[in-house]
Structure 1
Amino acid sequence: MSTADTSSPTTKLSIVYYSGTGNVHKLAVAAEEAAAKAGADVRLRRVPEYVEASLAPEFTEWTEAWSENAGAIAEIPAATADDLDWADAILLGGPGRFGMIAAPLKHFIELAWPLNARGGLAGKVMSSFTSTGAQHGGQEATILSLNTVFYHWGGIIVAPGITDDIMSAPSNGNPYGVSSVSGPQAIPGRLAENVTEDNLAAIGYQTRRMLEVADALRRGRRAGADR
């Protein structure tokens, strides 16, 4: 990775995520740490639930873990469309739901419609990540659904690809965007225990890769404006 140009303004990254039981939250925090270490100006923003109770109360362990995670991330600021407007680069994450975007995150995306309508998202660097209950539980479909949103926004999509050895680690391997496997059930008191160290290293790599592209674009645009 190249070193960011410190003579120009710092690249602004918004990490916007929805997390049900903590897996996506853990990945998002790792991305924030990697971005801060790389010198970016970072906003970590959670997408809140739009329901007040678990959608699956009969699954008691999942519901307890869902409640525990909600309490653990309550102090993180809630995402708004302004966080997307502010950023040079956007990292969007959420769990897969049958290969689709989780409803709270989809609702947030819909709230960005006025910003998109005025062209406020065009040309920003964008990337995505997810977590599913099983390795073949819709990781690629969820990532591609998020990336389809980026197409509509006019974003510049930066995928991690298999461009670093960490992406080929046994618990990684998804070139579209970092994905973790949350396991068959959430266990209270043991949130996100199935997010591996390789997953965390991979989301750090994905974050640095998109920042490298965002830095290069920003410097190029700045040079063009100065001509």
Structure 2
Amino acid sequence: MSEKLLVVFYSSTGSNTQLARWSKEAGEAFGAEVRIRQAQELAPDVAIDSNPLWRKNVEESKDIPVATSDDLLWADAIVFSSPSRFGVMASQMKQFMDLQGGLWAQGKLANKFVTAMSSAQNPNGGQEQVIQGIYTVMQHWGAVIVPAGYVNVSTFAAGGNPYGTSATIDGEGTMQNAANVKAAASDQVTRLLTITKAYLAGK
């Protein structure tokens, strides 16, 4: 039986869309059944239209369904990816998590295997805080957190964040060091699924 991997992301200008797509590719390469979903957009069109990169990403990702509680129930393992918003996760991602109180109360989010990724416009733009914030929610859920750690060389090449892959995006929307970030994201997902697979086999 294949592991079920859910990739949930929020992205405005596209960096976390890319991290999510790389995560999906890595999951499929591992042999997992993968769903990729995005958090519901909350910003008005006037805000989206004020940034051409934001509108471009909305159009290019419109084929990706919005994440639901049913997706969480389905998953064995989950990747969350959110940009930094003043050092915390985007409100769109936070709302998705906040809406899961019913599942949490029933204990249906416990023992999911989870890892997280993030991005910002500079190397110290709050990515670690975002990932730690996601992990704080996961601890309340009773999920099993699987950080990137320092177990793959790719982590160092991508910037050395042991909590999860983090990307730096310039003012033009270009991801810096993209090849190394992709490798780190792939290794992180592989680590997540390797541990999930071992757990499910033992269970």
Identify the TM-score tier after normalising by the shorter chain: over 0.9
Q: Is the 8 A contact 2:48 2:54 kept in 1?
A: no
Q: Is the 8 A contact 1:21 1:192 kept in 2?
A: no
- Paired residues, what number? 203
> What is the correspondence of 1:30-109 to structure 2 with a 5 Å cutoff?
30-55=22-47, 60=50, 63-109=51-97
Provide the rounded CA distance (Å) in 1 between the counterparts of 2:174 and 2:32.
Answer: 26
The alignment-based identity, stated in percent, is 36
How large is the RMSD of aligned CA atoms in angstroms?
1.4
Provide the rounded CA distance (Å) in 2 between the counterparts of 1:30 and 1:52.
Answer: 28
Q: Is the 8 A contact 2:117 2:165 kept in 1?
A: yes
Q: Is the 8 A contact 1:14 1:89 kept in 2?
A: yes
Provide the rounded CA distance (Å) in 2 between the counterparts of 1:44 and 1:146.
Answer: 18
Q: Which moved more, 1:46-55 or 1:75-84?
A: 46-55
Q: Displacement of 1:117 after TM fit? A: 1.1
Per the alignment, in what secondary structure is the counterpart of residue 45 of structure 2?
coil
Give 1 or 2 for the bigger CA radius of gyration: 1
Query: What is the letter of the counterpart of residue 180 of structure 1?
Result: A
Does residue 112 in structure 1 map to residue 104 in structure 2? no
Which blocks of at least 5 consecutive residues in structure 1 are unaligned? Answer: 1-8, 222-227
The match for 1:225 is none
Per the alignment, in what secondary structure is the counterpart of residue 148 of structure 2?
coil
TM-score of the superposition, structure 2-length normalised?
Answer: 0.96
Q: Displacement of 1:134 after TM fit? A: 0.8
> What is the correspondence of 1:1-227 to structure 2 with a 5 Å cutoff?
9-55=1-47, 60=50, 63-169=51-157, 171-183=158-170, 185=171, 187=172, 191-194=173-176, 196-221=178-203
Provide the rounded CA distance (Å) in 2 between the counterparts of 1:54 and 1:146.
Answer: 28
The structure showing larger relative contact order (alpha-carbon pairs under 8 Å, at least 6 residues apart) is: 1
